[in-house]
Amino acid sequence: MKYKRFDDMNCSLAQTLDVIGERWTLLILRDAFLGVKRFGHFQRNLGIAKNILSARLNRLVAEGILEKRESAEGAHAEYLPTATGWDLQPVLLAMVHWGDKHRPDPRGDRLVFVERKSGRPIRPMSAVSEDGRPLSPAEIRTERGPALDDPARQRQ
Amino acid sequence: MKYKRFDDMNCSLAQTLDVIGERWTLLILRDAFLGVKRFGHFQRNLGIAKNILSARLNRLVAEGILEKRESAEGAHAEYLPTATGWDLQPVLLAMVHWGDKHRPDPRGDRLVFVERKSGRPIRPMSAVSEDGRPLSPAEIRTERGPALDDPARQRQ
DNA sequence: GTTTTCGGTTGCAATTTGCAACCTTATGGT
DNA sequence: ACCATAAGGTTGCAAATTGCAACCGAAAAC
């Protein structure tokens, strides 16, 4: 009896959760986005056990989210986000924004994301219409896509 | 020895993960967004064990993400997303988009999100500049916010 | 009046997590 | 050369979580 896998659910959310839903994975990815590259730095930053960190890094490499390579000096390995990994940035931004809003620190935001060129803060994450207007949850409708039209798999 | 909590990390991502990072939680929330309200419907939709579902629903209610109330007929309880819960929609949308892109179904997207008014698909989730331009990960810089200026807590 | 459904709770086994100890390969100091 | 230390892990074991199945009380169906 293994833990139930999510990736056979024919649901994009379940696919994603299957890859990044394990404990610690997103915190590791956050540090990678902030420039942390080495095993020991992840470990001390996060206070994670080494065997767990090892397992998570290997999984992230296997899933194509981090790339493992020898450092310039050749002494140690480095873990760097791939393009696929960077595509998860919106997930992290959305979670950080929720945490800032609903579980705030009294002293203010903990991390601020700014546009590199202008130095000005980005907008809070939100759905955006085709022509660029922010959309509230109530303005969005969910439809079944082509991959769900198999009646044998209908939900509800 | 309990599992290590994330919420003492002074990090908004950790705060959010502490609330919605447990197994099954986001899948339950997805179903709630799609209109599932009742215990048994969540259970059959997801194939989740009833004790786990019970624990997750109670936690989501305690955290203010779902609201539990008696149904109109009074017979059974209903779980409905609160405003705080709906604020997590961008997290789910971002994860669904990543799954669609990187773990696709050969037949196409599984769920499509459209603007209710126009019926047209929304943009993929992405960071957006102050004046509404989509920003790639490379165009974003992360700065320490006011809540991190305590030197005793510096990272790296 | 008996059965079925709903919404759970309880008990137990399998799996995952966390901690500490250990290991191997550099590197540093003397 | 010799010993100590650090980096980057792996291994073993105890504790926590998850999953499954059985059970339970109340209400609805038959």
**Res A148: pLDDT:** 76
**Sorting pLDDT into bands at 50, 70 and 90, what band is A61?**
very high
Residue A86 and residue B148: Cα distance in Å, rounded? 24
Per cent of chain A over pLDDT 70 is 92
**Res B149: pLDDT:** 67
Contact B26, B20 (CB under 8 A): yes
DSSP code for B89 = H
pLDDT at B154 over 70: no
The set of strand D positions with any atom below 7 Å of a protein CB reads: 6-12, 15-22, 27-28
Strands A111-115 and B140-144: antiparallel
**Res A28: pLDDT:** 98
pLDDT at B155 over 80: no
Residue with the bigger pLDDT between A109 and A113: it is A113
> How does pLDDT run across A64-100, given as a tens digit for each residue?
999 999 876 667 889 999 999 999 999 999 999 999 9
CA distances from B127 to A31, A113, A115, B38 (A): 18, 10, 10, 34
Chain B contacts of A23, Cβ < 8 Å?
A: 3, 21
pLDDT at B73 over 80: no
The C-alpha R_g of chain A, in whole angstroms, comes to 19
**Res A156: pLDDT:** 33
Chain A contacts of B125, Cβ < 8 Å?
A: 90, 94, 125, 127-128
Per cent of chain A over pLDDT 90 is 75
User: What is the mean predicted confidence (pLDDT) over B114-123?
Assistant: 96
pLDDT at A150 over 70: no
> How does pLDDT run across A29-43, given as a tens digit for each residue?
999 999 999 999 999
Total residues belonging to chain A: 156
Contact A114, B100 (CB under 8 A): no
> How does pLDDT run across A110-127, given as a tens digit for each residue?
899 999 999 999 999 999
Closest Cα of chain A to B35: distance in Å? 10
Residue B22 and residue B38: Cα distance in Å, rounded? 20
**If 0-12 CB within 10 Å is exposed, 13-18 middle and 19+ buried, where does residue A5 land?**
exposed
Q: Which of residues 84-113 of A touch strand D (CB under 7 A)?
A: none
Q: Which of A33-37, A103-107, B143-147 has the highest mean pLDDT?
A: A33-37
CB of A51 lies under 7 Å from some atom of strand D: yes
Residue B26 and residue A21: Cα distance in Å, rounded? 9
pLDDT at B60 over 80: yes
CA of B4 to C1' of D22 (A): 32
User: What is the mean predicted confidence (pLDDT) over B84-96?
Assistant: 98
Residue A122 and residue B47: Cα distance in Å, rounded? 39
Interface test with B, best of A87, A97, A133, A154 (most B CBs within 10 A): A87
> How does pLDDT run across B24-44, given as a tens digit for each residue?
999 999 999 999 999 999 999
Chain A contacts of B115, Cβ < 8 Å?
A: 129-130, 135, 139-141
**Sorting pLDDT into bands at 50, 70 and 90, what band is A151?**
very low
